[in-house]
A and B are shown apart, each in its own frame.
Chain A
Amino acid sequence: DQQVKQNSPSLSVQEGRISILNCDYTNSMFDYFLWYKKYPAEGPTFLISISSIKDKNEDGRFTVFLNKSAKHLSLHIVPSQPGDSAVYFCAAKNAGGTSYGKLTFGQGTILTVHP
């Protein structure tokens, strides 16, 4: 049962353009969402997060949008840079529930930014 889904295995974008990575979830108990960036053979690096009480959070070039009614979130990277090329994981948790720190991850999207 895939509770967090990233339906696009890969995304290719030109440098300077916008990258939009999408994530859908099915568990309505999730109330906190995170995006991680991962290079091969390294651990995920935290990028940005959003609480379910918000619909947008911005940090520099990264903006996360949350649509609770659609159970959908997206990560926008503007402008995209070649160094952004990596695997991006969406993760969700029930911050207030008994699952405590458990993060449920999507399968990841490989972003390639071409110079």
Chain B
Amino acid sequence: KAGVTQTPRYLIKTRGQQVTLSCSPISGHRSVSWYQQTPGQGLQFLFEYFSETQRNKGNFPGRFSGRQFSNSRSEMNVSTLELGDSALYLCASSFRQGGTEAFFGQGTRLTVV
């Protein structure tokens, strides 16, 4: 069974631009969560989607948004990029909303210059 797939793996953007990251969960999993990993802050929760609805949100500004499609695939968007947005963005999938085990993808490394 295929794991969580995130695309692209690497991305370089300029300050002020916007970016869209994609996540395909494990087949049959309906919950997708997003996390940001930085050296200073560690792994921080961004948001969770289930059945195309955002169910929970972390403490990030409104520039960070996401959505989930009917096939459970999810996208995350960051607008007006700042240098501090440079991070590894990780997506995790679970079978159900708030599922106890979350399985992570390999992440998208975003560099803002």
Interface residues in chain A, defined as those with a beta carbon under 8 Å from any beta carbon in chain B? 32, 34, 36, 41-46, 49, 51, 89, 91, 93, 95, 98-108
Residues of B contacting A102 in the complex (Cβ-Cβ under 8 angstroms): 33, 45, 48, 56, 58
* 20 intermolecular pairs with C-beta atoms under 8 Å apart: A34-B100, A41-B88, A43-B6, A43-B105, A99-B98, A100-B55, A100-B56, A100-B97, A100-B98, A101-B31, A101-B33, A101-B56, A101-B102, A103-B33, A103-B43, A103-B45, A103-B92, A105-B44, A107-B42, A108-B42
Closest to A36 in B: B104
Q: What is the size category of the interface that chain B forms with chain A?
A: 20 to 34
A42 and B56 contact, CB distance less than 8 A: no
Chain A nearest CB, measured from B43 CB (Å)? 4
B42 and A101 contact, CB distance less than 8 A: no
Interface residues in chain B, defined as those with a beta carbon under 8 Å from any beta carbon in chain A? 4, 6, 31, 33, 35, 42-45, 48, 50, 55-56, 58, 88, 90-92, 94, 97-107, 109
B106 and A43 contact, CB distance less than 8 A: yes
B103 and A46 contact, CB distance less than 8 A: yes
Residues of A contacting B42 in the complex (Cβ-Cβ under 8 angstroms): 105-108
